[in-house]
Amino acid sequence: MGSNMKLFLQYNLPKLFLLLLLMLTVSTAVAETKTLRLYTTTTVRDSGLAAKLIPAFEKQSGIFVEAHATGTGKALKAGRLGKADILFVHAPDSEKQFIKAGYGTQRITVMYNDFIIVGPPNDPAGIKPTKLVSAALKKINQQQNQFVSRGDDSGTHKKELSLWQSAGIAPFGLWYFEAGAGMKKALLIADQQHAYTLTDRSTWLANKHLFKLEILHEGDPELINTYSVISINPDKHPQTNMSAAKKFIQFVTKGEGRNIIASHKVAGEFLFKFNPW
């Protein structure tokens, strides 16, 4: 190696190293801006909606979606820890607390369906004639009929617990089984155990052909189930991809995603509706 080359490397190698490091950093930052970390509920996945929404958003925006389907409680925890850019969840009280604590910049309600109680066709607790969900739960409790709870801190689980509380019941005992699982798995367990369970209607419609269960209670206004998107606050977590989060919110509230939600149906039945308020 010539002396001129040695001198060149001696004085310029550190600069070249720094330039390479800068190029790698910029490349990584560009890649990160093209990724959206989405935490959504298992019901959005199990209803088949996520399989339509996510590819359409990726195609339109050029942004890769790193999707995680989990219970709302775990999704909110991911948001608090800065592991998400946006949440798609359905537990209004917990969501409002999340916003109040400063972890989210905005909460926008996107759509709704409702919860229903399904169970064995012979309806051993006799809940089908009841008009109020509290009356249905009291019958199940009084007769100690098998009931499967998701038991996973999901939006559905949170709703179930609030319904028991409103009915003045603290559920426990051999008749009350906590599955610690998503909605589809909880439905499977209820079917195997000839038990009752609370489910969102969309997951039920998308999977009812797999079970012998039937809808045995529905229609109480207490069973309305709303879904909202929440963008994570960059003041709490500076790495949050706010640009991608805003594009996703626009997509599901006013863009192509809204049309996908409106047209999403299974066996001829629409799974979600838009909020009338």
3-state secondary structure of 169: coil
Would 178 be classed as within a structural domain?
yes
- Rounded Cα gap, residues 166 and 275, in angstroms: 24
For residues 88 and 219, membership in a common domain is answered with no
Q: And the tokens for 186?
A: 């909880």
State which residues form the domain around 262: 34-113+226-270
Split into its structural domains, the chain has a count of 2
The pTM (predicted TM-score) of the whole model is: 0.80
CATH number at residue 197: 3.40.190.10
Looking at residue 275, its pLDDT comes to 65
Looking at residue 33, its pLDDT comes to 62
Looking at residue 25, its pLDDT comes to 45
For residues 219 and 118, membership in a common domain is answered with yes
- Partners of 199 in the beta sheet? 116
- Rounded Cα gap, residues 143 and 138, in angstroms: 9
Looking at residue 8, its pLDDT comes to 41
Q: pLDDT digit string (tens) for 185-231?
A: 999 999 999 999 999 998 999 899 999 999 999 999 999 999 999 99
Would 196 be classed as within a structural domain?
yes
For residues 93 and 83, membership in a common domain is answered with yes
pLDDT level of residue 60 (50, 70, 90 thresholds):
very high
pLDDT level of residue 31 (50, 70, 90 thresholds):
very low
Closest CA to 68 of 89, 97, 47: 89
Q: Calculate mean pLDDT across residues 78-93.
A: 96
Would 28 be classed as within a structural domain?
no
3-state secondary structure of 56: helix
Would 250 be classed as within a structural domain?
yes
For residues 72 and 107, membership in a common domain is answered with yes
